[in-house]
Amino acid sequence: MTVSTGTGAPVDQTRVALGQPLRIALLHGRGDGSRRTVAHLALASAAEIVASVRASDSRHFVAAAQALREARPEVVVVHADAKDEAPLAELLEALRLGCAAQQPAPRILALVETRLGEALRRRAYPFEFERFADAPALVGTLRALRRAGSDDVVLRDALIEDGARSLAATTATTALAVDVSDRSTSLVLAHPDGQIEAAHLVPLGVGDGADHIVARAGLDNVRRWLPWPIDAPALLERVWSRVRWPAAPSLTEAAILFEMALAREAIAHALRDAAEAGLDVGAMRSAPAILITGRAASFPRGSQSLLVVADGLEPTGVSTVFREPDEGRAERIAMIVSVTLKRAAKVRFMRAAGRSEARVVPGSFGFVAIAGDVDVAVNGPGVRGHGRSGALGVLIDARGRPLSLPARDSERIPAVSGWHEAVGATAAARGTS
Amino acid sequence: MTWRRESWTADHPLPIGVTKRAQVGEPVRAGDIIAAGATVTSALRVSGARRLGLSPEDLGRELRVRVGTDVVAGTVLARTGRRFARSVTAPIDGRLLHATVDGDLYIAPIVDRWAVRATLDGVVARSDDAIVTIEGEAWGIQGAAAYGPDAIGELTLVVDGPLAEVAPARIDVRLGGRIIVGGARVSAEVITRAHACGIAGLVAGGAPPAGLRVVYGDTVTAFGLPTREERSMPTVLCLIGFAAVPLPLSIYGPLAEMAGARAAIHTASARLFVFATADVGKRDAASPEDAREGDRQPSPSLAERDEVGAADSDLEAVQTGEELIPSADVPSLRER
């Protein structure tokens, strides 16, 4: 990647990368708030969580120590309140028993108050212990560790955050960046004032992180998005082969649809983890501007990227969707209007050129060919919003939230095929359109 | 992926409770026990420095028993004073496992014993309570993924060629303790049968992911699943991938050449090590893969060997499990 620093200025060569994988263990207090805080820190720093231990963990001392030894953490992130000092001290003893001989020894980074920090510092001997007063500083340290001293590396997660901030500033609304790459999945919600909430899940992607999607979501949850029947062993073999050769580009339609299925589940699981870490998932789903990047933005057709986001993210409002492939230019692809209906309703579109209406029935899913700036209002559910449709027009998604798929193949496959065809994501649909 | 004869390193992570381990510089052979210890369970915390009226830093000086030692109930762990002595005794039989920063002691009951075996002929390059690393020279090949515990045994070919898949019927108890080369692919049935027959490990071009899930559970991934407990799980090394992958001649040929040699599967690194002489198969060959196809005499299949063995009554017999079989079935490089 080349970054220009201005006219006539020298051009800096930089590399965009995920950085060095960072294995972190989370030790947290008994409260849910503490669990959410450490989870948020891990997600914000794109570290790989290898162990998570609560101060009131039911495992006995030796089992906790053994789990920490097998996890081989490079960094241990600690967060707790003063009342958790005693159980946390016990966990640090388990860490000493489990990881004292580990080379290099894990570093302990604690987001705790000063007094507790001093108490824990003594108990953390012989590990390096660092106390942080605020979360951004701790996240910055974790990112510096991932950069491993390579100043020319631009971390992919930082770049996505910049993209989300920039979109929020440009559109003066909240913006969500959705990135799915080979080994990571990111959701970054940026506000116009520059504040962000970020969740970067590693390793969870459509390349060498694909088997983690299957391990987390289950094979059936990936299979349900495919518009053709496939048996579980064949699908699993496909996933594992993709993991071994992640760089192979998806050339056939089957491979593309398979990658789309993985990307949907990756986004859905990123949302779930973000919700567990206390991030505002509701705001992510209702963001007026959505930017798709990475492999999810690199499908041959914009409608394929759009369908992945519509199914994986399940937006709830009116959103303008952009996509920016790794090796391509950003483009506005469509507007999504998501409505949950109990009975038929009317959607009103107001443009400079005039007004128009469309009748929407529950379960309908398809494009309305409208270009330019559009104000949308749906009677009934009270959905209103403003956006700009892209090359594809306005996608009306009345499938309902949460999106549920029929369990039986005989009902599910026609439904999923229908959605693919409705947006032109398959060759068959393109042939008929 | 290719065969290479060079110096390799193999890490052997140790569980908690190590009692003894090989020291740095010590020569070891694959299969030797390089560390042994006790499996301990829920530990008791015993007040140490406070009870003795010492600062935590001074507790070490007064300990009568080294941390890591097995003790019986009532053993004096630490003691101070002469006339008005204070002491800390073990409340249970077990192991003095850990001394805390506060000067307390953890004692845990012993429920089992464990041992870790070397997977490489060589010398110990690193040895501490967490890991023993061995460095040594061997023929080695990097596989795609490995599952189960490390395995050590005699390399044995049970297929007729690189395209063949091993049939479950070819696996029986006579192959117990060996590392079986299963050709293009090993099925879940072969894996479970091999485990039941006491076979040390299976090496093949691939193994079906669904079969691996059946054997190792749903959390298994394409990156392998090294486990620690011996014999609790079968060992499988996928050399190329997960589909039925014919082994290239450059891989299969040397495997056939080295059948009968001692071998080891190091699952953490997904490597197969074979302890054969450097000039195996061909006197001037630098590497087995360089050997020409026509010069090679692949090992006979088991069926062929059975015929040879039946015809040759003078062969020395070896004991495998409960049966005596002719040693022609376990050809070694020395015999060639």
Q: Are residues B89 and B144 in the same domain?
A: no
Please tell me which of the candidates B97, B131, B210 has its beta carbon nearest to residue A236. Answer: B210
C-alpha B270/C-alpha B224 separation (Å) is 8
Q: How far apart are CA A94 and CA A86, in angstroms?
A: 13
* pLDDT band at A311; cut points 50, 70, 90: very high
Q: Which of A401 and A326 is assigned the larger pLDDT? A: A401
CATH number at residue B232: 3.50.30.10
Q: Which positions ≥6 away from B84 have C-beta within 8 Å?
A: none
Which residue in B has a C-alpha nearest to residue A212's C-alpha?
B221
pLDDT at A250: 76
3-state secondary structure of A155: strand
Q: How far apart are CA A80 and CA B185, in angstroms?
A: 50
| Position B115 in a domain | no
Give me the total of CB pairs closer than 8 Å, taking one residue from chain A and one from chain B: 90
Are B48 and B78 contacting, i.e. CB atoms less than 8 angstroms apart? yes
Contact criterion met (CB below 8 Å) for B124 and B111: no
- Whether A321 contacts A312, CB under 8 Å: no
Tell me the three state secondary structure of residue A198.
Answer: strand
Q: What is the three-class DSSP state of A268? A: helix
State the span(s) of chain A assigned CATH 3.40.50.2300: 20-147
Report domain A20-147's class.
alpha beta
Residue A144 CA to residue A151 CA, distance in Å, equals 9
Strands (E), A248-363: 289-294, 318-324, 331-338, 345-351, 354-360
Cβ of residue B213 closer than 8 Å to a chain A Cβ: yes
> Using the beta-carbon criterion (under 8 Å), do B97 and A97 form an inter-chain contact?
yes
Chain A neighbors of B268, CB-CB under 8 A: none
Using a CB–CB cutoff of 8 Å, tell me whether A98 touches chain B.
yes
Query: Is the CB of residue A295 less than 8 Å from the CB of residue A266?
Result: no
CB of A172 less than 8 A from some CB of B: no
One-letter amino acid for residue A316 of the chain: T
Statement to judge: residues B251 and B306 lie in one domain? no
Using alpha carbons only, what angle is made at residue A77 by residues A73 and A79, rounded to the nearest 5 degrees? 150
Alpha carbon of A289 to those of A30, A378, A425: distances in Å? 37, 19, 22
A96 CB neighbours in chain B (<8 A) are 98, 100-101
> What is the nearest CA distance from A278 to chain B, expressed in angstroms?
26
Within 8 A of B101 by CB-CB distance, chain A residues are: 93, 96, 122-123, 125
pLDDT for position A8: 54
Contact A96 B97 (CB under 8 A): no
CA distance B97 to chain A (A): 8
The DSSP 8-state label assigned to residue B251 in this structure reads H
Other Cβ atoms within 10 Å of A196 Cβ, number: 18
Number of neighbouring beta carbons within 10 Å of residue A397: 26
Task: Decide if A236 touches B, using CB distance below 8 A.
Answer: yes
Q: Which residues lie below 8 Å from residue B212, measured CB to CB, with a gap of 6+? A: B147, B188, B191, B220, B236, B242
Distance CA B240, CA A147 (A): 32
Q: List residues bridging with A386 in a β-sheet.
A: A375
- Domain annotation covers residue B187: yes
- CA distances (Å), origin B274, targets A9, B206, B255, B296, B301: 58, 19, 9, 18, 20
Measured between CB atoms, which of B16, B128, B209 is closest to A65? B16
Task: Tell me which residue in B101, B218, B243 faces A237 most closely, judged by beta carbons.
Answer: B243
A65 inside 8 A of chain B by CB: yes
Chain B residues touching residue A232 (CB < 8 angstroms): 210
User: A93–B100: do the CB atoms touch at under 8 Å?
Assistant: yes
d(CA A132, CA A116): 12
B208 in the same domain as B155: yes
Strand partners, B294: none
Q: How far apart are CA B53 and CA B48, in angstroms?
A: 9
Same domain, B162 and B245: yes
Residue B123 identity (one-letter amino acid): V
- Chain B positions touching A244 (Cβ under 8 A) are 144, 222, 241-242
Please give the Cα distance from B166 to B51 (Å, whole number).
Answer: 65
What's the rounded mean pLDDT across residues B186-210? 94
Looking at residues A133-155, what average pLDDT do you find?
Answer: 91
Res. B244: pLDDT tops 80: no
* Helices A32-44 and A135-147, axial angle in degrees (round to 10): 40
The neighbouring-strand residues paired with B20 are B36
Measured CA to CA, the distance from residue B151 to residue B180 in angstroms comes to 11
Paired strand residues for B78: B63, B88
Rounded to the nearest 5°, which phi and psi values hold at A353? Answer: -80, -15
Amino acid at B224: G
Nearest CA in chain A to B244: A237
Q: How far is A100 from chain B (nearest CA, A)?
A: 8
Mark yes or no for CB contact B242/A241 under 8 Å: yes
Contact B123, B25 (CB under 8 A): yes
| Percentage of the residues of chain A whose pLDDT score is greater than 70 | 94
By the 10 Å C-beta count (0-12 exposed, 13-18 middle, 19+ buried), A177 is classed as buried
pLDDT score, position B232: 76
CATH of the domain at B99: 2.40.50
Residue A309 burial class via C-beta count within 10 angstroms: exposed 0-12, middle 13-18, buried 19 and up: buried
Give the separation between CA B200 and CA B228, rounded to whole angstroms.
14
User: How many angstroms away from the CA of A58 is the closest CA of chain B?
Assistant: 11
- B238 and B167 together in one domain: yes
Residues B100, B145 share a domain = no
* Number of independent structural domains in chain B: 3
Residue pLDDT, tens place only, B317-329: 333 333 333 333 3
Residue B165 lies in a domain: yes
Position B25 in a domain: no
From the list B45, B208, B221, which residue is nearest A215 (CB)? B221
Determine contact, residues B184/B206, Cβ cutoff 8 Å: yes
Residue A291 neighbours by CB distance under 10 Å: 28
CA distance A413 to A223: 10
> Binning pLDDT at 50, 70 and 90, where does residue B76 land?
very high
A118: phi then psi, degrees, rounded to nearest 5: -65, -40
Contact of A34 with A67, CB cutoff 8 Å: no
B263 three-class SS: strand
Decide: residue A433, CB within 10 A, 0-12 exposed, 13-18 middle, 19+ buried.
Answer: exposed
B303 or A367: whose pLDDT is higher? A367
Residue A60 at interface with chain B, using a CB cutoff of 8 Å: yes
ipTM of predicted complex: 0.84
Mean pLDDT, residues B19-42 taken together: 95
B15 in reach of chain A (CB within 8 A) = yes
The pLDDT-based confidence of A7 (bands split at 50, 70, 90) is low
Residues B162 and B269 in one domain: yes
The reply to whether B324 and B252 lie within a common domain is: no
Cβ(B266)–Cβ(B273) below 8 Å: yes
Which residues, in sequence order, are CB contacts of B310 under 8 Å at separation 6+? none
DSSP one-letter code for B291: S
Whether B198 and B269 share a structural domain = yes
Q: For the segment A8-28, what is each residue's pLDDT rounded down to a tens digit?
A: 556 566 677 888 899 999 999
* A243/B contact by beta carbon, under 8 A: yes
For residues B29-45, average pLDDT: 95
Classify residue B164: in a domain, yes or no: yes
Average pLDDT over residues B53-79: 93
Q: What pLDDT digit, counting tens, does each position of A346-399 carry? A: 999 999 888 999 899 999 999 999 888 999 998 876 789 999 988 899 999 999
**Tokens for A126?**
């012989």
Structural domain of residue B86, as residue ranges?
Answer: 42-108
* Average pLDDT of the segment spanning A277-304: 96
Contact list in B for residue A129 (CB cut-off 8 A) is none
**B interface test, pick of A50, A58, A61 with most B CB neighbours within 10 Å:** A61
DSSP A62-76: HHHHHHHHHH--SEE
The answer, for B100 touching chain A at a CB cutoff of 8 Å, is yes
- Measured between alpha carbons, how far is A94 from B98 in angstroms, rounded to an integer? 9
pLDDT at B32 over 70: yes
Q: Quick check: B60 contacting A, CB < 8 Å? A: no
User: Residue A312 belongs to what H/E stretch?
Assistant: helix A302-312
Query: Is B151 in the same domain as B55?
Result: no
How much is the pLDDT for A428?
62
> Residue A193: how many CB atoms within 10 A of its CB?
9
Distance of CA A379 to the CA centre of its chain: 32
Q: Does B319 touch chain A (CB under 8 A)?
A: no
Residue B34 falls inside a structural domain: no
What are the chain A neighbours of B241 within 8 Å (beta carbons)? 240-241, 244
Q: Do the Cβ atoms of A244 and B13 come within 8 Å?
A: no
Q: Considering CB atoms only, which of B13, B43, B213 is closest to A62? A: B43
| B214 touches A at CB < 8 Å | no
User: Same domain for B83 and B190?
Assistant: no
Q: Read off the pLDDT of residues A165-195 as tens digits, 9 standing for 90 and up.
A: 999 999 999 999 999 999 999 999 999 999 9
Nearest-CA residue of chain B relative to A58?
B42
**CA–CA dist A404, A396 (Å, integer):** 17
> CA angle at residue B106 from B103 to B109, to 5 degrees?
165
- Classify residue B17: in a domain, yes or no: no
Alpha helix stretches (DSSP H) within chain B? 49-52, 56-62, 188-196, 209-216, 249-257, 302-311
Out of A62, A101, A244, name the one closest to residue B130 (CB).
A101
Residue B24 belongs to some domain of the structure: no
B109 touching A (Cβ < 8 Å) = no
Question: Is the pLDDT reported for residue B296 higher than 50?
Answer: no
Residues A27 and A94: their CA atoms lie apart, in Å, by 11
Among B42, B45, B242, B245, the strongest candidate for a mutation testing the A interface, having the largest count of A CBs within 10 A, is B242
Which residue of B lies nearest to A213 if distances are taken between CA atoms? B221
